[in-house]
């Protein structure tokens, strides 16, 4: 065991939680090489290693149900309620397991993005817990678990969060927090590693052309049940779709799988694009803002964070929205015509992970 072991508890619902958490973990390890990370999430170790080189301890834990979805764009309200009823029944055993792990492993602190259970367990054993997130699950779930058999669950989550030492509140979320000590934190995002011209070369795209490069990625969902989408018009555009989408277009189109070829990371593709069309979430919004890529958000009904995220991104840079009906009808031309890829842009901090890591180190009293 190294001198200082810290548990990073990461929700498994949404890749943005993982990518920003690993950016912070990597920055803190650069500042304090003596720290040994325990990364707790059900995201596969192989995926974690893309953003956080070993060594680290991987502990597969499913902390909470999150929001159950029926496809990429819709909330399954009944499924979410049922999942949290089971979660509440299992909670005492889960809390006991988490506290026993913290005691036996010698962890001196917990960083959470943003499982309430891990925060509660840290409080039970008397170690600091720092939440790093743009929202907490009680806020997300309040309109869904709004009474009946699920009454009291949101309040119980908020009570667990209230035990945290500090909430470092990332952009694209509500100002309200159940944690008394809450500080605004800078943007944390992955950075592209390849230059846009190199991305184009590796994907066999023209290196220089007047057409705007538009990346379409609804994000990690199986699209086999989608009906075919025929995109009409859109002159002056070249599309790149990600995720085996059933899309064809009158404009030039390159279809890519989720696992991108030729050593190109998704962030590299975002940085090379002029516009991204995607379902709105912290990960894609942060990467678009950092790399100054315009964002067209696909409608996500009943996702509480979506309207807030869309409004806040509009203050950062060029953006637009497209409803589900026009998206699936291939009527993308109006949204593309309404968004400029040139700006204006508000400045995005490029050292957010380092600043958040330094604040965590201060709260946890890590040795220099």
Of residues 359 and 14, the one with the higher pLDDT is: 359
Instruction: Using the predicted structure, report yes or no on whether residue 1 has a pLDDT greater than 50.
Output: no
Instruction: Using the predicted structure, report yes or no on whether residue 17 has a pLDDT greater than 60.
Output: yes
pLDDT tens digits, residue range 50-93?
999 999 999 999 999 999 988 878 899 999 999 999 999 999 99
Instruction: Using the predicted structure, report yes or no on whether residue 13 has a pLDDT greater than 90.
Output: no
Q: What's residue 208's pLDDT?
A: 86
Q: What's residue 221's pLDDT?
A: 67
Q: What's residue 107's pLDDT?
A: 97
Averaged pLDDT, 255-271: 94
Instruction: Using the predicted structure, report yes or no on whether residue 352 has a pLDDT greater than 80.
Output: yes
Instruction: Using the predicted structure, report yes or no on whether residue 249 has a pLDDT greater than 70.
Output: yes
Reduce the secondary structure of the chain to three states and give it as a string. CCCEEEEEEECCCCHHHHHHHHHHHHHHHHHCCCEEEEEECCCCHHHHHHHCCCCCEEECCCCCCCCCECCCCCECHHHHHHHHHHHHHHHHHHHHHHHHHHHHHCCCEEEEECCHHHHHHHHHHCCCEEEEECCCHHHHHCCCCCCHHHCCHHHHHHHHHCCCCEEEECCCCCCCCCCCCEEECCCCCCCCCCCHHHHHHHCCCCCCCCCEEEEECCCCCCCCCCCCEEECCCCCEEEEEECCCCEEECCCEEEECCCCCCCCCHHHHHHHCCEEEECCCHHHHHHHHHHCCEEEEECCCCCCHHHHHHHHHHCCCCEEEECHHHHHCCCCHHHHHCCCCCCCCCCCCCCHHHHHHHHHHHHCCCCC
pLDDT tens digits, residue range 23-49?
999 999 999 999 999 999 999 999 999
pTM of the shown model = 0.94
Q: What's residue 244's pLDDT?
A: 86
What's the mean per-residue pLDDT of the chain? 94
Residue whose structure tokens are 């590796």 = 202
Share of the chain above pLDDT 70, in %: 98
Instruction: Using the predicted structure, report yes or no on whether residue 336 has a pLDDT greater than 80.
Output: yes
Superfamily (CATH) of domain 4-188+351-363: Glycogen Phosphorylase B; (3.40.50.2000)
Confidence of residue 224 (pLDDT cuts 50, 70, 90): confident
Q: What's residue 367's pLDDT?
A: 81
Q: What's residue 14's pLDDT?
A: 79
pLDDT tens digits, residue range 197-223?
999 999 999 988 899 999 999 876 678
Averaged pLDDT, 325-334: 97
Averaged pLDDT, 167-191: 97
Q: What's residue 220's pLDDT?
A: 64
Averaged pLDDT, 272-293: 96
Specify the CATH architecture of the domain 196-337.
3-Layer(aba) Sandwich (3.40)
What's the N-to-C CA distance of the chain in angstroms? 18
Instruction: Using the predicted structure, report yes or no on whether residue 10 has a pLDDT greater than 60.
Output: yes
Q: What's residue 3's pLDDT?
A: 66
Averaged pLDDT, 119-147: 97
Averaged pLDDT, 322-338: 96
Residue ranges of the chain that CATH labels 3.40.50.2000: 4-188+351-363, 196-337
Q: Are 27 and 53 in contact (CB under 8 A)?
A: no
């Amino acid at each position: 065991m190294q001198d200082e072991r810290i548990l990073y508890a990461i929700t498994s619902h949404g890749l943005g939680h993982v990518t920003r958490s690993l950016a912070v973990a990597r920055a803190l390890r650069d500042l304090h090489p003596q720290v040994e990370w325990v990364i707790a999430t059900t995201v596969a170790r192989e995926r974690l290693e893309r953003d956080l080189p070993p060594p680290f301890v991987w502990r597969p834990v499913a902390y909470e149900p999150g929001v159950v979805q029926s496809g990429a764009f819709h909330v399954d309200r009944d499924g979410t309620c049922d999942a949290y009823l089971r979660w509440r029944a299992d909670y005492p055993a889960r809390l006991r397991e988490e506290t026993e792990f913290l005691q036996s492993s010698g962890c001196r602190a917990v960083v959470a993005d943003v499982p309430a259970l891990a925060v509660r367990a840290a409080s039970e054993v008397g170690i600091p817990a720092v939440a790093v997130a743009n929202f907490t699950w009680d806020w997300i779930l309040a309109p869904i678990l709004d009474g009946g058999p699920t009454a009291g669950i949101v309040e119980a989550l908020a009570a667990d969060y209230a035990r945290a030492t500090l909430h470092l509140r990332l952009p694209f979320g509500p100002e309200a927090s159940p944690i008394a000590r809450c500080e605004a934190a800078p943007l944390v995002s992955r950075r592209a590693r390849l230059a846009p011209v190199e991305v184009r070369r590796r994907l066999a795209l023209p290196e220089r052309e007047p057409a705007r490069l538009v990346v379409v990625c609804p994000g990690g969902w199986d699209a086999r049940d989608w009906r075919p989408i025929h995109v009409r018009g859109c002159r002056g555009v070249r599309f790149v779709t990600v995720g085996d989408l059933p899309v064809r277009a009158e404009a030039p189109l390159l279809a890519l799988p989720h696992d991108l070829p030729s050593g190109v990371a998704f962030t590299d593709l975002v940085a090379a694009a002029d516009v991204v069309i995607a379902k709105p979430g912290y990960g894609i919004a942060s990467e678009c803002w950092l790399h100054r890529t315009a964002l067209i958000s696909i409608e996500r009904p009943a996702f509480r964070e979506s309207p807030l995220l869309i409004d806040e991104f509009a203050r950062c840079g060029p953006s637009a929205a497209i409803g589900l009906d026009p998206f699936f009808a291939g009527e993308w031309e109006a949204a593309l015509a309404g968004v400029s890829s040139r700006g204006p842009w508000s400045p995005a901090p490029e050292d957010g992970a380092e600043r958040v890591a330094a604040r965590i180190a201060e709260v946890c009293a890590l040795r220099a």
